[in-house]
Amino acid sequence: MSSERLGIYRRLAGYLRPYWRQMILAYGAMLLAMLLNLAVPQVVKQAIDNGLASGQASALIAASALILGIAVVRAVMGFLQRFFGEWLSNRTGYDLRNQFYHSVGNLPFAFHDKARIGDLMSRATGDISETERFVGVGLMDLLSTVLLLVGVIVAMVWEDAGLALWVLGPLTVLVAAATRFGTTMRPLFKKIQDQMGVLASVMQESLTGIGVVKAFAREPYEFAKFDHENDKWFVMRYRAVHMWADYWPFFTFMLALCVLLLLWFGGPQVIAGEITVGTLYAMISYVLMLNAPVAHMGFAVNLAATAGASASRVFAIIDTPNEIEEAPTAVTFTAPKGEVRFDNVSFTYGQGRSILHQINFVARPGEVVALIGPTGSGKSTITNLIPRFYDPTAGRVLVDGHDIRQVQLKSLRSHIGIVLQEPFLFSASVAENIAYGRPEASMEEIIAAATAAKAHEFILSFPAGYTTKVGERGVTLSGGQKQRIAIARALLYDPRILILDDSTSSVDTETEHIIQQALAVLMQGRTTFVIAQRLLTLKRADQILVLDQGRIIERGTHDELLAHNGHYRMIYDLQLRDQEEFLARQEPVRQAEAVRGR
């Protein structure tokens, strides 16, 4: 076995170390039960030689009573072994699952950009389940079988060394075959588990995009894609079953061969009086004692191979280095002012794909900075660098003069509120979603935030109001409703720096106007970054950064950039002029409604 494989099993065994008391009980019970098993043939031997052969009934009664006592103790030991073995399995699975989940949660966005959710779910469920089965019960069963095999050989040699030599050959072949079975199965099970991850990813992607699938009538294509990956999994699994079917009869045959050799060479010795009938019986009993364990050894080796493959997949995620490391001397923000400075920042993503090139700007406390530009120009990347979802390849991002790489992550992000371009809501109540960043918030604060985000009225229209469950990913809400709840969530968080990643893209112009009025008051004292294609946002910004291919090509206010007659003016003429004309037509209507409201 390679050092890498040994390292994996050694690491798995390390999860048992904190629970040494339970291990002592489980393994102690296993060892005592095994020793009692080895004693039974000796008791029967004495009953045959001293009872049956000599006609002493008392010897038979004493042997029967002793066997009954051994059976009772073995039952108690069996309970302890199984109970604490299962306890260890579930406890180590609990610990491993927690460690895996925390590791995934702490990994940076760069990891999640490439990771497949279905594959991660497969590792968190299937792989960890396979691993935990081995760490507790499987490891104990495998060790019990090995110890019993050694104990049987020692007992047979002690009983009759000459007769034992005839069965050592088949037993050696048996052990070698079991070892080869395990080394052959492990890489195969690694491929099987990897393919299961692919299968889970295909299913997760298809079900997540079920609306698109049905809209384009692509169900047959998705079924065929899933069937193709499922077929690949089945072929691999079939190979494993075929190998198992090949080895298991061989194990049984080798044990039958041992019994045959004992009868062939031991029978004449009994007839000649060289050994007793009890001795031959004990020798055969020792071999038959291996029947169930050896058959189970195939399962144990199979489980060990599966667990090794699964554990390597789990540890691959746990050992993934976190590119966003917190400095040992990181400072804590207590009351940041909210100044954000990009100092010659460049960012390269993945395999050398440059996203930002020498970005320089300063956002002063309370300013609204709008980012505009075509898709892929780097707008979202700039806002993702501020909470340190990524680290710049070159240059520095500073908040209040501190390089954010020298600030505690939790402290930094606790002062940054974000409304993503595609708002995500949890399968919980409306109130719980709004209070996600501040779970201790009172209902009055939740309602105030919802009112400011113009979400209060539609929330009250739901039958259960703020206790209404929104469904997985907020599927029961419209895009505009989800967006306003996400805005309310950010407002309740009360951040010093606010990031709105195209947060009004899912609402109509009238709704956006209402939201902007609320935000105009709530943005006071906050540094706000807005990615938007709407004119209302851009006109209110203190500075607009126009990006193209990762560079700031223009900067200024709305009026300044229009007067410059450059790239922004072209965007305005192509995309924004119609919005301004529409707003101009709507203004008299709003004024009339305001008068009627008085």
Q: 453-497, pLDDT tens digit by residue?
A: 778 888 898 888 899 888 665 666 877 788 888 888 888 888 889
Sheet of strand 402-403, all strands in order from the earlier edge strand to the far edge: 353-363, 340-349, 394-399, 402-403
Q: Is residue 139 within 8 Å of 262, Cβ to Cβ? A: no
Instruction: Give CA–CA dist 461/364, Å, rounded.
Output: 40
For 195-215, the pLDDT digits (tens) are 887 888 788 777 777 766 766
Tokens of residue 309, six digits: 């493959």
pLDDT tens for the chain, 598 residues: list them: 566 777 888 888 888 889 989 999 999 999 998 888 888 888 877 777 776 656 666 767 777 788 888 889 989 998 998 899 889 988 998 999 899 888 888 887 777 777 777 778 878 887 888 888 888 888 888 888 888 888 888 888 888 888 888 888 887 887 777 777 766 776 777 788 788 878 887 887 777 777 667 666 778 888 888 888 889 888 888 888 887 777 777 877 888 888 888 888 888 888 887 778 888 888 888 888 777 676 666 667 777 777 888 888 888 888 888 777 788 888 888 778 889 999 999 998 766 678 899 999 999 988 999 999 888 888 889 998 999 988 899 999 999 989 999 998 888 888 888 887 777 788 888 899 899 888 898 999 999 888 887 788 888 988 888 998 886 656 668 777 888 888 888 888 888 898 887 656 555 666 666 666 656 656 777 898 988 766 767 777 899 999 998 999 999 998 888 888 888 888 888 766 666 666 556 655 555 555 455 5
Residue spans of alpha helices (H) in 160-290 = 161-208, 210-215, 219-271, 277-289
Rg (CA), the chain: 36
Q: Is residue 341 within 8 Å of 509, Cβ to Cβ? A: no
Instruction: Give CA–CA dist 506/508, Å, rounded.
Output: 7
**pTM confidence score:** 0.72
Name 265's Cβ contacts closer than 8 Å, sequence gap at least 6: 163, 166
For 305-339, the pLDDT digits (tens) are 778 888 888 888 888 887 777 888 888 887 788 89
Tokens of residue 383, six digits: 């806002």
Quickly tell me which residue has 């050092």 as its tokens: 3
